Amino acid sequence: SALTQPASVSGSPGQSITISCTGSSSDINDYYYVSWYQHRPGKVPKVVIYDVSNRPSGVSDRFSGSTSGNTASLTISGLQAEDEADYYCSSYTSTSILVFGGGTRLTVL
């Protein structure tokens, strides 16, 4: 994958966690419109962040997004059991190609 995510992260209820999404250094300037998806087992993927830091209506304000250099990040604060899921970053490139990160399994301890 052209977007690299950690395979897994974990945290206890109430804590904050951050999931990183790193583009390859040779073409990071080609990545735009980063979005993040939550995918619970047996459910349909759901967007939690779009355009780097925007939350769709209905998504908890515990979810936030940011970028720094060649890395985008998803932060979940006040961790809850229901946040346990796989999270994927995605980006749309200047060549009209869309890529997903490899996914990060979030475990709530």
Partner 1 sequence: QLQLQESGPGLVKPSETLSLTCTVSGGSISSSNYYWGWIRQPPGKGLEWIGNIYFAGSTYYSPSLKSRVTISVDTSKNQFSLRLTSVTAADTAVYYCARLHYYDSSTYLYYFDQWGQGTLVTVSS
Residues that bind partner 1 (CB under 8 A): 1, 32-33, 35, 37, 39, 44-47, 50-51, 56, 86, 88, 90, 92, 96-103
Looking at the Cβ atoms of 11 and 102, the one nearer to partner 1 is 102
Looking at the Cβ atoms of 55 and 62, the one nearer to partner 1 is 55
The set of long-range contacts for 8-11, using a CB threshold of 8 Å and a minimum separation of 24, is 8/104, 8/105, 8/106, 8/107, 9/104, 9/105, 9/106, 9/107, 10/106, 10/107, 10/108, 10/109, 11/79, 11/106, 11/107, 11/108, 11/109
Nearest approach, Cβ of residue 14 and partner 1 (Å): 28
